[in-house]
Chains A and B, each alone.
Chain A
């Protein structure tokens, strides 16, 4: 089994922020937290990654707990195109994807 735990599904309204949680209580000191998302009928695409500090890029923000046992992917303004399955993965020590969180965005 993957070393991360995510809710199976979440819903959001369009143009509202979305906070996608991930628990990784057994994270090792060398693990980076990566997030990918998979749009329907496509392969996964990279979103963001971080080690200890919060990270921002054009797609999203990543907030990492001080003890690194959890993290949150933040989409600041959800759009319909953000509807996808979001995966939280630990690299390099775990190449597995879990089932992820299916995000539904309502207009």
Chain B
């Protein structure tokens, strides 16, 4: 069974440019998460979806970040415009649902470098 797929794996852009990341979760997983991981730190939750609904986006910087999960499957995270401080690894994860007993499966991440 395929794991969580993310693309691209690496992205280099200049500041003020837009960028988008794509995530395909494990088939049948209703819950999808986007995390940001800065160098030397643990992942930080940006947004969590239950099917198409964003149930926790309290940590998403809404002035420049947006996300969508159409049809409750794939998801896209966008940054517009990117800033130097957005350089990080963006991780997508999925789980069967959002319960406390359910393990998350993470993708390999997209490493973003903003110059």
A contact residues vs B (CB 8 Å cutoff): 2, 30-32, 34, 36, 41-46, 49, 85, 87, 91-92, 95-100
Contact = CB atoms under 8 A, between A and B. Distances in A.
Given A32-B101, A91-B100, A92-B99, A43 B42 contact: no
Given A97-B44, A99-B42, A100-B42, A43 B103 contact: no
Question: Which DSSP category, helix, strand, loop or mixed, fits chain A's interface?
Answer: loop
Q: Categorize the interface residue count of chain B.
A: 20 to 34
B8 to A, nearest CB: 15
Contact of A43 (B40, B98, B107): B107
A45 B42 contact: no
B100 A97 contact: no
B104 A46 contact: yes
Contact of B98 (A34, A87, A92): A92
B14 interface: no
Interface of B: 4, 33, 35, 40-45, 48, 56, 91, 93, 98-101, 103-109
Contacts of B4: 43
Given A42-B108, A43-B107, A95 B45 contact: yes
B56 A44 contact: no
A98 to B, nearest CB: 5
A97 B91 CA distance: 13
Nearest to A90: B100
A97 B43 contact: yes
Given A95-B48, A96-B44, 4 more contacts: A44-B104, A91-B100, A92-B99, A96-B45
Contacts of A100: 42
Given A32-B100, A92-B98, A99 B40 contact: yes
Contact of B106 (A30, A44, A85, A96): A44
A96 B104 CA distance: 13
Contacts of B98: 92
A2 to B, nearest CB: 7
* Residue from A30, A43, A46, A98 whose CB has the most chain B CB atoms within 10 Å: A43
Contacts of B44: 96-97
